Structures are given as C-alpha cells and as structure tokens.
Structure 1
Amino acid sequence: MSLPAAFLDTVHHLIPRERRFDDPLSTLAFGTDASFYRLIPKLVIRVESEAEVATLLRAAHSHHVAITFRAAGTSLSGQAVSDSVLLVLGDNWNGRDIRGDGAQIRLQPGVIGAQANAWLAPFGRKIGPDPASINACKIGGIVANNASGMCCGTAQNTYNTLAGMRLLLADGTLLDTELPDSVADFQARHGALLDQLGELGRQTRANPELAARIRHKYRLKNTTGLSLNALVDYDQPLDILTHLMVGSEGTLGFISAVTYDTVPDHPHKASALVVFPDVETCCTAVTVLKQQPVSAVELLDRRSLRSVENMLGMPLWVKTLSLGACALLIESRAASQSLLHEQLAQISASIAGFPVEKQVDFSEDPIVYNQLWRIRKDTFPAVGAVRETGTTVIIEDVTFPIEQLAAGVNRLIALFETHGYDEAILFGHALEGNLHFVFTQGFDTPEQIARYSAFMDDVAHLVAVEYGGSLKAEHGTGRNMAPFVELEWGKDAYQLMWQLKRLLDPTGILNPDVVLTNDPQLHLKNLKPLPAADEIVDKCIECGFCEPVCPSKGLTLSPRQRIVLWRDIQAKRRAGLDTRQLERDYQYQGIDTCAATGLCAQRCPVGINTGELVKKLRSQHADHPKTADWLAEHFHGALRGARLTLLAANSARKLLGAPRLARLSASLTKASHGRLPQWTPAMPQPLRALALHPASHDARPRVVYLAACVSRVMGPAAADREQSSLLDKTRALLEKAGYQVVFPDNADSLCCGQPFASKGYPEQAEHKRQELITALLHASRGGLDPVYCDTSPCTLRLVQDLGESRLDLYDPVRFIRTHLLDRLEFTPQDAPIAVHVTCSTQHLGESQALIDLARLCSKQVVIPEGIHCCGFAGDKGFTTPELNAHSLRTLKDAVQYCDEGISTSRTCEIGLSTHSGIDYHGLVYLVDRVTRARAL
C-alpha cells in the first residue's frame, strides 16, 4: 500500500531531495537496526529541524501515516524499524547547554551519550544512564528507552534524573516545560488533555491494588510497557506527561530536547572479581552487597566465563573453574582515594564469610582493572563470534526480585537446557536483579521459529508470572515483548496503557505495534535474515557500534549498512534474482565511498573490519594487473609521473589563478567520475627527487629515515606559510636531537604497498612491502638502528605481520616520545593548535601520546569533536572529494580560533587544510618550532 499523495506532496515541498530516500538500496539500508527484526520503510526522511518534524507530524496525523523515529538504531527489541515512514536524525541535533558547573545539562536527541559525558567530565559530572552502547547510542534513544546500564541502576536512569523536556505530540504540538510561555500556550490549547492525564493519575492513585502493583514493578528495573509510575509518582499533569514520554519508545511523541540533573563522576575506582562455588552463594552475596558502597556488581555464570576463557590476555585460572561456579565483578568509586579505601575495606568485610573458589582482590591498577572488566565486556561478542553463519545473536534482558535472584538464575539455566540452547550464557547487573542472557537463533525454518516461540513463552511465564519480575529491564519493550505486556502487567494496567496511548496518539500513527500491540504473534513476524555474505563480515550482528567513526555515514552507507546490502545481494544471487541494478548502486554507495580505514573494527564487538571486505571487492574488479605490475617494478617512474602532474597543476595555478582552477578542476573531477583528481589551494607543490648523501661514520646514534612516497613527492602548498618540506623538516629535527640520519638505498623505488592495496592489488602491495622491509633491514644493519617513518599510515602497514623480523619501526609520535624527549627542551607556544589524530595513529595506539605531545608544544590544544577520520583515504580526497568534505563538514567551526593544525599523514593534511581554512602540517613542524637541543 503506497503512501497518500497529499502526505507525499507535503514531504516533497518540505524536505530537499537529498534527504528523502525511497530507492530499494536506501530503504533496505535504513530498514535495519540492532534488533532481529526487519521492516523495509516506504520512505526514509533525514530530518534536520524541529520545524520539519512538526510539519511532518501534522501531515501524518491528518493523513493517517505511521511514523517511526530513529536516532542511532542500536536498540535491540525492534522499536526503530518501520514499514511506513522512518524519520532519521540528521546532523543538526547536537546542541547542548551546560548549567550550574555541570549540575544540569540540556541535550538534543542527536548527541551521543559518551559525548555528553565528555562535555561534563571537566566538571566531574556525567549523565546518569550508562548503557553498554553509550559510545554509539544517542540521547533520543536513551530517553525513549529509559536506558540504564552497569552502574546506573534505577536511581540514576532518565526517569529519575529528568529536569525538563521539549517535545512534540502526535499532532505536531510543541511543549517546552522550561519555557513559561510554551507551558501557558500548551495549557490553553490542550487543557482537556492535561485534565484527562490528571484524572487518570488520581484514579490510579485511588486504586490501592493497581498503585501497589505499579510501585512494586518500578522497585525493579523495568522498561516493559509504558511508564505507569508517572501516574503514581506525580500529580501535576505536565510532570505526568514528561515522565510518560520517558521509555515510550516513540509511541507517544517526539523528544527534541531533554534536561538532565547530572550525577557525580568519581575519579577514584577499584574492581575485584570474586568467584563463588555455586549460584546460590553468589546471589546471596549480592543481597549483602546491595547494602554496601558499591557502584556496580556484575554477575557472570560459568558459561559466560567459559565463552571468554581462551581469549588472549585472559587469566589461565578461568579455565580451571568448577562447573557450577558463578562470579561477581565488583566495583566501587569514590571522590577521594582515602574514602575509596574505606569503602573497599567495608565491602570486603561484608562478604568475608562466604566460601570463595577464586578471587582477584580489589585493584586500582588500570591494567588489572581493565582486564577484569574485559572479562565482562567480551562475553556478548564471544557468543557472536562463534555462532553458526545465518543465525543471529539474541540478547534478552529480564529482572527478578533480588531476593529471588538465585532461584531465577537456576530456573533460567534449566530453560536453556530444556530448549537446547547449549551455547547460552547469562550475566547481568546483579544489584538490580537484572540479567542478560545471550543465545544464538536461526529463523530459516518453521521448526526454528517454533522453538524460539516455545522458549519465549516459557521465559515470559517464568519471569513475569512466577516471580513477578520484568520481561524487559533496560532494553525496551519494542516489538519483541509487546505481545507479553498484558501477561506481565495484568488487565487493568494494560488497559490503562492503551488509554494513555489513545489519549496522546488518537490516530495511532506513532510507532504502531511497538510497546502495545493487538497481535499475539508479533514477536514471531518480520524476523531479520542474516544470510552468508563473506567470511570477513558474516559474524556481524548489525549492532551499529561502528557507525559513529565512519566517515561516509550520512553521505552514503555506514559499515553496518554496507554489510546489510552485501548480505542481501548475495542472498538474491543465490535465489537467482537479478541484482545488476542493486550492484550498480552499491558500487558507489558501498565501495567507492568507503575510506577503508578500519576504524569500524575498533568499535565492533566482534572485530569486523568492513574496509577489508571493500578492499576484497575492489580486488575482484581490479582489471589492470599488468599495469600494477609495471608500476611496482618501476615505482621511481611512477613517482616521476606524480611530480610532473603536480608540476602541471602548479603551472595551471599560476596561469589561471587558484579560484578559477579550483572551479574548473571540480567540474572536471565530477564529469570524469573521479578519474581526474580535484585541485584545491592545499594541493602540494612538487618536490625534487631525494638527493642521497653517503652516511658519515661518526659517534652520533644512527636513525634510518624512511620518507614515505608522498613525502618524497609532495612539498608544501604554494599558499602555505611553511615552505620547508616534511622531509627537510624531519631531517633537521632528527639532527637537532643529535642523530645521524641514514636513508635506505634506492629510496625512490621503495613503497610500503599501501597505494596498491587500496586499489585492490594485494599481490603487488605485498611485493612492495617485502621489498621495503628488506631494504630497511639492510639500512638499519639488521635491525640494530631504529627506523623512523614520517607517515603513520605507512608505519601501520609495515608493522602488521612483521613476524620474526627484527625491524624496529617507529611512527613520528612514538619516535618523538621515546627517543627525543630527553634530547630536546620544549618551550610551549601560546598560539592554539588543532590536532587531528589519524586513523593509523589510532590503530597504532598512539592517539593519547599525540595529544600529550601537542600539549607539550602548545598551551592551547583543540581536538575537534566527532571527527574520527578525515575521509581523504590515501587519494580519495582527490578522486572522491565529497567523502573528504562530508567527513570534515564540522571542522572549520571547530578550529576557527587556531592558526595551525598538526597530523601525521601528508595526504590527510591536504584535506584538513582544504576544509578547515588553516594550514595543517606534520607533527615535526610544531616540535621543531618549540624545541632546542638539550645539553647532554
């Protein structure tokens, strides 16, 4: 059934074409969230303002068009998918207002949770909710799902830390509870609605049995159904309304801003891991710890510990634990170290009488602390990594009353065995009786679906009926538990929820079938397929954790969406369907605009590097192997050609002028589909071939200088105030520090192979890499001398899989911090400096070290928010400049007070300079400027 023409007419007049998506590729890509449900929207709209949302809601309300809101799409229960209209937050929802030295913060729904905490960190504060997805999920989803987490409990969730809200009702009406005029206007226009809310509250509080049930349910962690506690906790209709919106999963309105009362973020913390001999002892210890000054108590059953016992870095004793063992990971935090130590002593004493099988005592050591938490955090991905291809990972989320936790855990484990879920693991936030259980499930056959259905029926009866617990503690009701809401709550409470839904959404347009449904089989419908696509990505669980660091997200596809589309293409191919149009669209959306930097792998719970898939696909279409062979064997000739190209571009600049050449070049690049590179004022001037001098034999320590091919070809831009090349500047800095600089033989023929690898020629890439390693071993006297590489991407490629090689390789950051700090005196400059941490620097683990070095050099260091990758991707800034422009679209505003930026990749610096309005240079320029040789 198509959307009404009148509604579409409103959309077409309101939303630019580039923010409307109705093609098969885009609707499938956006039809995916982290849940195991799949609905394909008829229309996806990227909304950029509250006014747009209000107009769309009014039109949808008038024409009975169903609307679903999407923030980050990390929700697990099917609340962010739609077969109608999906409204996705665009870039312009990142506003914040910090008040009272961080005591409160107002946030728009597009802010990532971790970013909010980064803004609050200087004040020693944070928002209360701390979901495991906090590095990816957004405030809109955190509020709409009433998300919590490991330390949040119930006291610090959104519902209990809410200070104000700005919202739109289903008919587009705006209310801002912090603006008296808005409140007065709303009361005048919607007085009847407020009166009805107030009356429902009075009726609920006057019903002792119902009120008591509601209070009991919210004594526990609970996100099943609507937030009925608003009706017993508050008597003012506006308070009832705003608290009903929390946890409503987009079924009652749109939240355009929320104000939090923040909570302390204590700097001192320690963790311990205590393994008890059985579940009963473990859960009894939890009831004791509930009364102690703990910030988190995480339960891990034996199966969850077994799932991670073979991972690198795990303690060997994990393998030796008994069959029934059950562990608690305990954390305590405090404002001072002395208070922390008092708390630790109190906690330890409280459980000293319990029998223990194994124990790691409280430690403040970050190495020990992080290892312990890694055990907990790796359990979920461990199951995902070993599942059978084609199955999905399901993570369920229930609460037992804490006094019945032991019995509940044992009964759940028995259900795993009854239904044959042998791989299922159980862990969770024990202080709240909140347990997550993870299992793998296929949906390809009726038998598989029937097995899942029977299991969920048994779980629902066990948790909700036998134990009076919550079927959803923090993941939201969604489509998954909507059929079980009445079972958990009873008829009266369930009908009250429907009354609220019909009052606030009378036409039923907001996220229908989510939270409340009339379909008892809804949880078994529209199940997402996860067909085999490629072994590189088959373990993807489509969680979306990768998306915040992807430079192409919002321009074309994110890593998650690339995988979704490639899975669909492969499934259609196997079914004999025509995929030619889909593949043509995927070429640009999925392959050409992927930066292939691999940052997605750092965020992925199962370590998937979607860039590796893209490079593999490029190699399948790399149809010039002979040309690649020739270039590999005549690399000095390729560099000569690059210098001539830069010379021609520089001559054209002098002849036409920079503005005219930039316009002409942009047109030619677009017309040639990227075959002709785009010229910008940041384009380098050519460097002459490297002039080598025989190494002297003096007493100075030697360093082999590997100048990357880009450093050997690309000089400064004509307009750059720094006219020394990176090569000259690096050599001067090394010599200032007292080093004898040695170059490898035949330097202009050497290359790490990165250009070949990114173009899909892995054999030629590896040939060049091995050739370079051999040359560096010779130059470094078999690894005796350190090798300094002036470009971090080249360093990263070389250090991967070095095997038995004794090569001692350094990128600029690591070499400066380990070899030059004691040889140079730093005098930090007053002028602010912008820092770009390249993808390769992040992979090398030198991100913080680069920032620390910048702070040695300048009293003011700016690290632009939200820019994880510049999108230049080797040469894509020339051939696909829109990727670079999109990735750096917020850079200029972020660095407006800086005169210079630094990085560790010459090509990245071209794009950074182009889109920031300031010159970006290698780190060595800054270090050289603020240092002098230290007297040794």
Structure 2
Amino acid sequence: MENKQLHSRLTKLFPKEQVFTDELSRLVKGTDAGLYRLVPKAVVKVNTEDEVIRLLQFCSKENVPVTFKAAGTSLSGQTVSDSILMEIGQGFEFSVITDNGKTATFGAGLTGTAANRMLQRYRRKLGPKPASINSAKIGGIIANNASGSSYGIKHNSYHTVKSMRIIFADGSLLDTADTTSCQSFIASHPEFIAQIERLHNEASGNEGVKNRIQQKFQLKNTCGYGVNSLIDFSDPVDILQHLMIGSEGTLGFVSQATFETVHDAPLKATAMLYFHNLRDVCETILPLRSCSVSAAELMDRNALRAVENQEGMPAELKSLPEGAAALLIDTSADDEETLLVQMRDIEAKLAHIQTLYPIRFTTDIHLYNLYWNVRNGLFTSAAASRPPHTASIIEDIAFSGEILGDALTDVRELLVRTGYADAVMWGHLLDGNVHFTVFPDINSPDGVDKYARFMHELANLVAVKHNGSLKAEHGTGRNMAPFVEKEWGTEIYGLMKRIKSAFDPNHILNPGVIINDDKDVFIKNLKNIPDANPLIDKCIECGFCEVTCPSKELTFTPRQRIVAYRRLTELVDSRFDKKLRERWAGEMAYEFNETCATDGLCAIACPVNIDTGSLVKELRWKENGKFANRVASSMANNMASATSLIRGLLKIPHFIAKIIGYNPMEDITKGVYKMGDGLFPLWTRYTPSGSRKIVRNIFPGHSADAPVVVYFPSCITRSMSGPSFGYAETEDIPSKMLSLLRKAGYTVIIPEGKDKLCCGMAFSSKGFRKQARQKESELNGALLRASRNGELPIVCDMSPCLLHMRETLDSRLRLYDQVEFIHDFLLDKLTFEKQPVSIAIHTTCSSTKMHLEEKLYTVAALCADKVIVSENVSCCGWAGDRGFFYPELNRSALASLKHDIGDATEGYSNSRTCEIGLSINSGVTYKSLVYLVDRASERKFLS
C-alpha cells in the first residue's frame, strides 16, 4: 500500500493529528535505542484501547505489519519498523493504587519512575528496576520482562504481574482479571486455546524439554519466548498471559497491567568492596545469595577506569591495580537493628574472600550516593569516550553462579582477542547477569564483519560452552534472533515458532523480532552514524532525554532533533538534490528550532551529558543575519531605555482590562497575536504589569554592623515584575526582595549602573553571542566592584539568570538564587508562621540544574500548611520569551499541571516569566517565593 493511500485510509480511522506519514516524522518517530534503522510507512499515535483495536483490525484485514512503541529505549531492535508503527499516547498514562499499595494497576504509557513515585507513600515499589526506568514505560517493561539491579528473577514482571488487558492481532480484547472476559475469549477463540493447551501438554509431558526449560530459567533469560509459561501453568489464560511477558510486541498489545508491588525499606546501607580480579568477585555470589541483599553490582577495572577521573569519585579508584574489580553491595531494612544485623551477616559470610581493603558498610547518605554514582556513571563515561563513527552496543548475558568466574574470564579473553579490549564490564552479580559494551564501527564493512564474527563466537561461548543466557534482560529483538535456536535447541525453538503462529497466524505483529529465519538480520539495516556536530556526536539515541522535554508531546524531543539533524547533515554531505535539502531544513524549522525550550534538562537525563539546546542555540547563532545582529546590538547598548519602555508599555493593557474586563481584553490581544503571525507577543491577564524604577543603590540596614548583601535585580524584574491578575499585593519583585532582605537585617547594595545591566542570557539563548558576551562583561565588572571582588554575597531574583551568571561570570563571585539565599542566610534571622493555605511550588529547570528542589520545598513548607509539587511537570516550556510567541509549547509542557496541583489556591516559583505560563495553565496565580516568605515571616529579635 502506497504512503499516500495509507495516509488516506488511516485518517478515516483516526484524527489526522494522530497519523504521521511525512518523511521527517516517520524518521524521527521510528528511531529507538538500538543499532538498527528502519523507517515506518506511517506512525499512528493511539490513546485508547478502542483506537488500538481499530488499528489492529485494519492491519489484520489488510495484512499490514504493525510494531508497537512505548518509550523506544529498547536496545535490541524491538521497536523499529518499515511498515506501521503504533506509538502509545498520553491516554495510557493512568494508574489505580489498591490494597494500601500492595497492588497497583498502571497503563502501558506510564513510566516506571512515575509508577514508583505513586507507590512511594506506601513504602512500595515495582519489582522490575531497569536502568532505563526513568524513561521506560510499563508497556515496554512488560514486553521485555525487564528486571535490573535489585531483584532479578524473583521480582521481575513474570513473577509480579497479577493480571493484564491484552489486545490480540485480530483486535480481540482479553481482561485476565475478569472471569466473564476470560470465558468469552475462550468461547470465541477455541482453536487458539486448543493450540495453547497442546503446547502445554507437549512441553510438560516431555521430560527432556521440561528439564531443559526449568534449567534455563534458573537464570535471567529473555532470549526467545517465555516457554516456562508452558510448564509453570496449566490454565490456558494463565499461560497466554505469561507468554505475553517478554514477547516484545510480537504476540499482542498489553494496554494495562496489575502488579503485586514490592516492599521498599527506608533504611539503606552500602559497601564498596575491591578485589584483586574478577574471579575473586565471583566467589562472593553464592555466600551473598544467603544474605539479605538489595543489590550487588559488579564492576571490572575498565569500568572503574572510565569514571575514576570524574569529579567526586573515590580517590582509591586511581590506585587500584590492573585487573582489579569492585562490588557494590546494598542492603536495606525497616529499622536500624535489623539493618545492623544484615550488615554483620554479609561481612561474616564474605570474611574468607580476600579483598584489597577491609569491608566497611556506610549509612552516610553522601557516601551512599557517592558509591552509587560510581556504578551509575559507568555506561555514561564509556559511551562518551568511544571512538568517532562507532555505535554503543550493550550486550547482556547470564551464567550460573557456580561457573561465573570461569565464564567471565572467557568473555574477557574473547573481548581482547576480537579487538574489543576496552570493553567496560559490569553487572548484577546475584543473578550472574553481566553487561558489557562494545563500540563497533557499523558504518564500515570491516567494522560490521568484525562485529559479526564476535557475535558468533560470543553465542558459542555463552550458549554452548557455558549453557548461559544470550539475553538476560535486554530482550531478543533483531540483535539475537538468529541465535535463539542455538541457545534453546531445535525442539524448543520449534515450540516458540508455534507460539508465534498461534497468537499471530498472519505474522503481522512486529515481524522479524525474536523469530527470524534470516541468520544475518543482526547486521542488516544498521544505523548510519555521521559526524554531524561535536555537541551531539556522542548521542546513542537512547531516548532517556525525552521524558523531561517540554516539547515531547508537541513537536520533537531531543533525540528526535538529533536524528533529524544527522539526516540533514547526510543530505548536505551527499549529492542529494538541493531542493530536497532546503525542503528538509524548512520542515525542521518549527519542530527543531522554534519549539525547543533550550532548557538543558535533557543533559541531566542524557547518559552522555548532551545538551541538545546548545546545538539549537548554535544554529540560531549561525542563522542570525546582519539586521538581526544590529537590532540585538542596539538593545544591548540601550538596555536602560529598553527596560524603561517595557515598564511603560506593560501598564497599558492592565489599565484597559480593568475598564473593559479581562475577558474582552484577552479576546482583543489574541486577535492581534494571530494577525501578527509571530510579530506580536501574546498578552494575557497573567502577563506582568510594569515594574517601578529603582532609584537608590544603597538601602541601609537597621544597625551599623548589619550584614551586607549585593542584590542584582535582573532586567526582567526591573522591567516586567509588577502585579498581574490574581495578585493581592501592589509591590513588584524588587520591592518585595528589598523588604525581605531589610526585614532580615541586611544592608542591601544594588550595583552601580543597574539600569543598563543584563546577564546576557536573553541574547545567548537566541544565538547573539557577541551581544551576550558584552552584557556578561559589563555585569561581571559591576558585580566585582559592588561585592568587593567577591567578598560580599550576591543574590539574584531570576533563577535562569542566576544559572547563566554562574556559568559565565568570575568564579570569585558568590552568586545565590533568591530561594538559595533565603534558605542559606535568612532562616535563622526570621521567625515563620505557617499560613493556612494549600500552595503549589514549581522548580524551574535552572533550579533543577542547581539542585535547589529541596531548598525550595523546605522554605515553602515553613510558610504554608500544605505544599504540593507536580509529579509530571519538569520544564514549564516558557523558555525566556518563547511562551509569548509559541504559547502552544508552554501549554503542552504544562498539560497535566492543573490536575497535579489539586486543591492549591496559590502558586510559587523563582522565575517571573515561568510564573506567567504556570498561571495561565493552572488557573492559579503563581508568584515569586519572596512574596510568600515576606508574608509568613517576621524579623527575629534576639533577647
């Protein structure tokens, strides 16, 4: 079916905004974390079970293959397609917590971390804990039978899912928790049920097959289908439910699942143990299995070397001998006495194994986090340091504890012999589950051949010599499909093929995954990895960045921006038609550039610390013409006049609105905004009124020995921080800041020449580098003079500006955000009376990067009876002034805010522009936190 015809057919079944058939959307949405590139013919976003049923019925009738995609963090090629790709939408992000958290039902589109946040109040959590849990969604966690570091086999999806709702290839729906649904399904699918029963009888009735399956599933194993279902259960519904787990979208779609959750003990202790070699580490596996251990993470010398030079790493890493290895042990309990007993038990059972340093557990949160930072930084550092043009592939194997030392020795020798000596190895020791990275050059024939030879040797070593699992938790995908029969043997592989045919007779569900007769599929359709830009060349397209991106539901995510930019680079570097390149660049402008908030949160989530916003700002700099630069220079040179003009203009709309009403006024300004088509900003009732001009530079304290602080009011707050709709106060932010600082007993100094000063961020974010540097230099000099070369602390009233100042100004300057200064300097100088209100607080993206979340909450909790934090909002998407011109970005980023803040009647943050968008999308007026602190506090008088 041609793309045009396919689009026409699909838009008759779905709203047109949920169907994507243009080349750009198909490319970026069709990308996952694996090493394969297939471009779908169409992408359909679904938000309800009815839409899934409609799509599957269409695909079944037309015999069109379809692949399901949740977060796209799969590593083995499970979620790419050259046919129809079904993308899970926000309609599947729902939850129901029952039995005091012991059971919980989650929609397929909810992330694992979001689910755990909801369970946290009950001291419960999901059993599966993949490394991708911040991004991985429930549907993907089930489809891959993900497990992770903490619980291995015991608490993976196979053992903790109680029921699920399944939609099969023919569009039929089964709710395994509903007796009526089960009876109806059995009656309407007699041949399917009969095939399941035959498979059960054959597997359980053949001692050789049964023993083989039992033996293989004593290890973590996601290679092939979960044929243990055939012998673990006799009821056909139980069997098909458990076969769905780990089936990677090849048997049906799980729309929701009910889990039996796991207790999350609050007290934790950890120890980092160092050994002479890997074999010695492996000697701990059997003793540790008899202890109460939450996690036991193995790290080889290459892994430790990858992180040893990073800031904050333990000093002893650099002094470890060649061949050394480490083990991070974690244990947890509900009370200190039990925790101590568990620590002593572990120490006693490992006493006979020689370590480089004595075993010492710690409950100190700093050390605890430090040790886990070592573990969590391994893949990050290794992937970031890989050679150019290479892919980052994480292989995933498991062996029995008794032979783990021999097996890992063989794996290391294989890596050295085949040219991957720099591979980093780590793993979940209790399960004998080890990961390692290889960095093949998959864009060259020699690199592909080298990788293929390695994979064949690895399969023989793991599956044949050591009877291990070729895939312990990352799923089979296309990567390991050619080797499934080698691991399982012809007879059991034959059962797997029959399972596929029973569930999906026409083989339309994710064809080529798990079951594939093409022995070379694992080296076909490999991604091209061009040198596009040093800012993004280390990207492994994992998608970890997507969950924090404010434009993720509107246009592109950071991963998608990088994929699109790499493709554009290929077009530029090739002989493609110039018109095609220009068309691509034009199509990308809105999705890539105009709706990117450049907030940098993607860098926090990214395993290799890529800030896609930096790339966007660089391109803005290149695109800025002479006229735009002249305008920017004029603004930079006349900042005082510009802020004065804005102060005056912003008084007018509120004056008119108070006469004619805010509703009519907003109707007028919306019309002007639409007619201007991007020329005029959108004004709303929550747009600030103009600020008052600050006349003085020094505000003396109450005594001669009063502490002194330098206060820098940003150009935003000097021009547009006056009250808007919903404000009971008449003061602007600088007035409130001065009131609060003087109440705390401070003498306040405002830098000379304040009216012309600007941190430069507004210029930098738009790509005006020269003008940004000019303003940075001016401010740097003014603050050095005002602070006596850094002797005095400096507080700024806009968190984005403060972050930019920290990144660009003299390191001698002691720079504080308003929240940070209040928390660190004012709490002991003020007395607080909680106000009888329920408030919502928002941590701006700049505050997140400065780690101010806890300080914001602490200060807010001193001032109000109830403090609410939205669990589903990161960046608000206002992005400086972007919210004025692209309000849809702000609206999309804050879609869940109104629901999340519940009964809050007031909102607080620390960025005046962000507060505009927060107010618009919540219906609650957001203000600077200084208003709340000033209202709830009094000066403390010492007796």
TM-score with structure 1 setting the length: 0.98
Conservation of the 8 A alpha-carbon contact between 2:780 and 2:810? no
Alpha-carbon contact 2:698-2:748 (below 8 Å) kept:
no
- Residue of structure 2 aligned with 1:828, choices 830, 834, 839: 834
Aligned twin of 1:387: 386
Task: Specify the SS of the correspondent of 1:544.
Answer: coil
Alignment pair present for 1:730 and 2:737: yes
Secondary structure, counterpart of 1:513 in structure 2: coil
Amino acid at match of 1:625: N
Q: Contact (CA 8 Å) 1:674, 1:878: kept in 2 or not?
A: no
Task: Choose the corresponding residue for 1:720, options 710, 714, 727.
Answer: 727
Most deviating of 278-287 and 593-602: 278-287
| 2:632 pairs with 1:628 | yes
Q: 1:658 aligns with which of 654, 658, 662?
A: 662
What's the secondary structure of 2:291's corresponding residue?
Answer: coil
1:622 alignment partner AA: N
CA distance in 1 between partners of 2:120 and 2:751 (Å): 47
Give the Cα–Cα distance (whole angstroms) in 2 for the partners of residues 141 and 334 of structure 1: 30
CA 1:323–1:896 in 2, change beyond 3 Å: closer, same or farther?
Answer: closer
Stretches of structure 1 that go unaligned for 5 or more consecutive residues are: none
1:618 counterpart residue number: 620
Structure 1 residue 228 and structure 2 residue 232: aligned?
no
Deviation at 1:874, TM superposition (A): 0.5
Q: Distance in 2 between matches of 1:722 and 1:898?
A: 19
Query: Which residue identity lines up with residue 723 of structure 1 in the other structure?
Result: T
Residue equivalent to 1:901: 907
Residue 691 of structure 1 and its aligned partner are, at CA, apart by 2.1
Q: Separation in 2 of the partners of 1:721 and 1:133?
A: 45
CA–CA separation in structure 1 for the residues paired with 2:451 and 2:498: 31
Secondary structure of 2:653's aligned partner? helix
Residues 310-389 of structure 1 mapped to structure 2, 5 A cutoff? 310-359=309-358, 361-389=360-388
Q: Which residue of 1 aligns with 2:506?
A: 507
- Aligned partners of 2:187, 2:453: CA distance in 1, in Å? 51
Deviation at 1:626, TM superposition (A): 2.2
2:680 paired residue number: 676
CA distance in 1, matches of 2:624, 2:660: 36
Cα pair 1:129 1:149 within 8 Å, conserved: yes
- In structure 2, what is the Cα distance between the partners aligned to 1:459 and 1:257? 36
Q: 1:397, 1:436 within 8 Å by CA — same for their partners in 2?
A: yes
The one-character-per-residue Cα deviations of 1:539-585 (angstroms, maximum 9, x if unpaired) are 11111111111000121100111111111111211113231111111
The 1:34/1:359 distance shift into structure 2, 3 A limit, reads farther
Counterpart secondary structure, 2:836: coil
Other-structure match for 2:751: 744
* TM superposition score normalised by structure 2: 0.97
CA distance in 1, matches of 2:164, 2:73: 22
Equivalent-residue separation in structure 2 for 1:183 and 1:729 (angstroms): 64
Q: How does 1:202-217 map to 2 (within 5 A)?
A: 202-217=201-216
Which residue is 2:609 aligned to? 607
- Partner residue of 2:773? 766
Structure 2 residue identity aligned to 1:783: G
CA contact (8 A) 2:872 2:897 kept: no
Contact 2:108 2:139 in 1 (8 A): yes
Q: CA deviation at 1:657?
A: 4.1
Are 1:643 and 2:631 an aligned pair?
no
Q: Which residue identity is paired with 2:132?
A: S
- Higher deviation after alignment, 749-758 or 764-773: 764-773
Letter in 2 for 1:728: S
Q: C-alpha displacement at 1:862, in angstroms?
A: 1.1
Question: CA offset at residue 87 of structure 1?
Answer: 0.8
Counterpart-to-counterpart distance in 2, 1:713 and 1:745: 17
- Equivalent residue number for residue 78 of structure 1: 77
Distance in structure 2 (CA, Å) of the matches to 1:599 and 1:471: 35
Q: Which residue of 1 aligns with 2:465?
A: 466
Tell me what 2:588 maps to: 586
Equivalent position to 2:883, from 877, 881, 886: 877
Aligned to 2:54: 55
Matches within 5 A, 1:129-278: 129-278=128-277
- Cα deviation for residue 695 of structure 1 reads 4.3
1:685 to 671, 682, 689: 689
Report how far residue 719 of structure 1 moved: 4.6
What are the equivalent positions in structure 2 for 1:33-48 lying under 5 Å apart?
33-48=32-47
User: How far 1:720 moved relative to its partner?
Assistant: 3.0
Offset of 1:410 from its aligned partner?
A: 0.9
Shift of 1:378: 1.2
CA contact (8 A) 1:273 1:359 kept: no
The change in CA–CA distance for 1:801 and 1:752 in structure 2 (over 3 A counts) is: closer
SS in 2 for 1:800: helix
Structure 2 residue aligned with 1:848: 854
- Distance between the aligned counterparts of 1:155 and 1:722, measured in 2? 58
Q: Check whether the contact 1:3–1:65 (CA below 8 A) recurs between aligned residues.
A: no
Q: Is the 8 A contact 1:383 1:423 kept in 2?
A: no
Tell me whether 75-84 or 705-714 shows the greater mean CA deviation: 705-714
- The 8 Å contact of residues 532 and 571 in structure 1, kept in 2 or not, is answered as no
Amino acid aligned to 1:48: N
- CA shift, 1:194, in A, is 2.0
Amino acid at match of 2:175: D
One-letter identity of the residue aligned with 1:888: L
Structure 1 position 866, deviation (Å)? 1.2
* Alpha-carbon separation, structure 2, partners of 1:931 and 1:919: 21
Maintained 8 Å contact 1:857/1:926: yes
**Greater CA drift, 93-102 or 273-282:** 273-282
- State the alpha-carbon separation in 1 of the partners of residues 700 and 283 from structure 2: 73
Greater CA deviation, 593-602 or 739-748?
739-748
In the alignment, what sits opposite 1:30?
A: 29
91-100 vs 713-722, greater mean Cα deviation: 713-722
- Report if aligned partners of 1:685, 1:718 keep a CA contact under 8 Å in 2: no
Q: Percent identity among equivalent residues? A: 43
Alignment-derived partner of residue 917 in structure 1: 923
CA contact (8 A) 1:278 1:325 kept: yes
Partner Cα distance (1:665, 1:216) in 2 = 70
Q: In 2 relative to 1, CA 471–693 (structure 1 residues): closer, same or farther, beyond 3 Å?
A: closer
Equivalent residue for 1:596? Answer: 598
- Measure the CA separation in 1 of the matches of 2:924 and 2:365: 38
Q: Which amino acid aligns with 2:619?
A: L
Further displaced range: 112-121 or 184-193: 184-193
Give the Cα separation in 2 of the matches to 1:583 and 1:617: 12
User: Which AA in structure 1 matches 2:583?
Assistant: Q
Give structure 2 stretches of 5+ with no counterpart. none
Aligned residues of 2:776 and 2:808 also touching (Cα < 8 A): no
Residue 226 of structure 2 contacts residue 243 of structure 2 at CA under 8 Å; is this kept in 1? yes
Aligned partners of 2:41 and 2:770: how far apart in 1?
Answer: 44
The CA deviation string for residues 22-58 of structure 1, in whole angstroms up to 9 with x for no partner, is 1111111012111111110110111111100011101
639-648 or 751-760, which deviates more: 639-648
CA distance change for structure 1 residues 694 and 489 in 2, over 3 Å: closer, same or farther? closer
Q: Which moved further from structure 2: 12-21 or 351-360?
A: 351-360
- 1:297, 1:431 within 8 Å by CA — same for their partners in 2? yes
Residue 654 of structure 1, CA deviation: 5.2
Deviations 1:293-351 (A, max 9, x none): 21211111122122222222222322222222222111111221111111111111111
**Quick check: 2:225–2:246 contact (8 Å CA) kept in 1?**
yes
Report the Cα distance in structure 1 between the residues aligned to 2:856 and 2:726, rounded to whole angstroms: 26
What is the CA–CA distance in structure 2 between the aligned matches of 1:200 and 1:820, rounded to whole Å?
Answer: 71
CA separation of 1:576 and 1:8: change in aligned 2, threshold 3 A? closer
The offset of 1:631, in angstroms, is 1.5
CA–CA separation in structure 2 for the residues paired with 1:410 and 1:210: 30
